[in-house]
Amino acid sequence: MDQPAAFQVIERICNEKRAPLYRLGRDFSFHRKGFNNFSYNGINESFDLLTLNLRGGHQFQNASLAVAAVEMLKNKGFLIPLEALIDGLGKVSWPGRLETISQSPMIILDGAHNPAGAEMLSRAIKEELEFNRLYLVLGIMADKEVEGIISPLAPLAHEVILSRPQYERASRPSDLLPLAIRYNMNSRAFEHLREAIDYARSKAGSEDLIIISGSLFTVGEARGILTGQ
């Protein structure tokens, strides 16, 4: 398998600097155990059961990288108690990343603003979340890879609801609508994000799911609308 260009650059610089390079899956690994638990098999240390307070399978990769970094710091003489590691993973919070903001219906904020983020969100929807129907509210910046964001997500939704945050770089919902319809015929557009959220909430039942995504600007404005802050 070809290595990503970014990794090749990192590998080259490590070789030039004669610095060690540790890689997930080669030098350390993890094994997921249930919804939010995992084991870690590390470079010098292993832990049988750690709890992670984040949604999404990709977050276990991120957590394992963080634990490996802790190992390296300890090797350099930093005193990091096991209790601090356990407490940090168990209490970590990442606003706007698969963040549940409300229940019944469940409303989740996720700032997926590029194709990779949209793919991760798509995977989480299919593998991590239980719901009846999905109402997907999207607001995307005009300078982003719009189709790469819409295409993994729109087919999963019962209805796609396009809108925009109050930001000059945001795509007009009416411009996004033809593309969204290509992936989900049940799509509509609202000029104002509050209207889009109110519409989604009026349609969603208690067992349904509303996801608001497409941009960190969209998520930030939605948080203010939903929390009043």
Question: What is the CATH number for 191?
Answer: 3.90.190.20
Question: Are 223 and 117 in the same domain?
Answer: yes
Strands across the sheet containing 99-102: 99-102, 106-110, 209-213, 134-138, 159-162, 187-189
126 shares its domain with 219: yes
Per the prediction, the chain carries an average pLDDT of 93
Please check whether residues 72 and 147 belong to one and the same domain: no
Average pLDDT of span 104-122: 95
d(CA 147, CA 114) in angstroms, rounded, equals 10
Give the whole-angstrom CA distance, residue 170 versus residue 140: 6
Q: pLDDT, tens digit, for every residue of 136-150?
A: 999 999 999 999 999
For residues 227 and 10, give the distance between their C-alpha atoms in angstroms, rounded to a whole number.
42
Please check whether residues 146 and 65 belong to one and the same domain: no
- pLDDT for position 3: 62
What is the C-alpha end-to-end distance of the chain, expressed in Å? 47
How does pLDDT run across 194-222, given as a tens digit for each residue?
Answer: 999 999 999 999 999 999 999 999 999 99
Residue 158 pLDDT more than 80?
Answer: yes
Q: Are residues 178 and 210 in the same domain?
A: yes
Band of the pLDDT at 95, cuts 50, 70, 90?
Answer: confident
**Residues 41 and 133 grouped into a single domain:** no
Which residue segment(s) compose the domain that 23 sits in? 5-91
In this prediction, residue 189 carries a pLDDT of: 98
Taking each continuous run of H as one helix and of E as one strand, the counts in the chain are 8, 9
Q: Contact 209/106 with Cβ under 8 angstroms? A: yes
Q: Are residues 111 and 218 in the same domain?
A: yes
What is the rounded CA–CA span in Å between residue 8 and residue 186? 43
The whole-model pTM stands at 0.82
Pick from 191, 192, 197, 205: which is nearest to 227 by CA?
A: 197
Task: Give 57-70 pLDDT, tens digit per residue.
Answer: 888 999 999 999 99
Single out the residue in 91, 119, 135 at which a domain terminates: 91
Distance between CA atoms of residues 130 and 208, nearest Å: 9
Q: Is the pLDDT of residue 227 over 60?
A: yes
Residue 20 has pLDDT above 80, yes or no: yes
Q: What pLDDT band is residue 56 in, cutting at 50, 70 and 90?
A: confident
Per-residue pLDDT at 105 exceeds 90: yes
- Same domain for 124 and 209, yes or no, is yes
- What percent of the chain clears pLDDT 90, i.e. is strictly above it? 86
Question: Quick one: 110 and 217 in the same domain?
Answer: yes
Does residue 2 register a pLDDT over 60? no
When pLDDT is averaged across residues 107-121 and rounded to a whole number, the result is 95
Residues in contact with 158: Cβ distance below 8 Å, sequence separation at least 6, in sequence order: 133, 134, 135, 186, 208
Round to whole Å and give the CA distance between 134 and 150.
14
Choose between 153 and 54: higher pLDDT.
Answer: 153
Domain count, the chain: 2
pLDDT band at 35 (very low <50, low <70, confident <90, very high): confident
Kindly state whether residues 104 and 149 are assigned to the same domain.
Answer: yes
> What gap in Å lies between CA 93 and CA 72, rounded to an integer?
23
CA distance 170 to 156: 23
Q: Are both 138 and 80 inside the same structural domain?
A: no
What is the model's pLDDT at position 7?
84
Strand 29-33 relative to strand 37-41, pairing = antiparallel
Cβ neighbourhood burial of 2 (10 Å; 0-12, 13-18, 19+): exposed
- In the chain, what is the greatest distance between 2 CA atoms, to the nearest angstrom? 60
Would you place residue 1 in the very low, low, confident or very high pLDDT band (cuts 50, 70, 90)?
A: very low
What are the structure tokens assigned to 84, written together? 């601090």
Instruction: Say yes or no: 62 and 104 in one domain.
Output: no
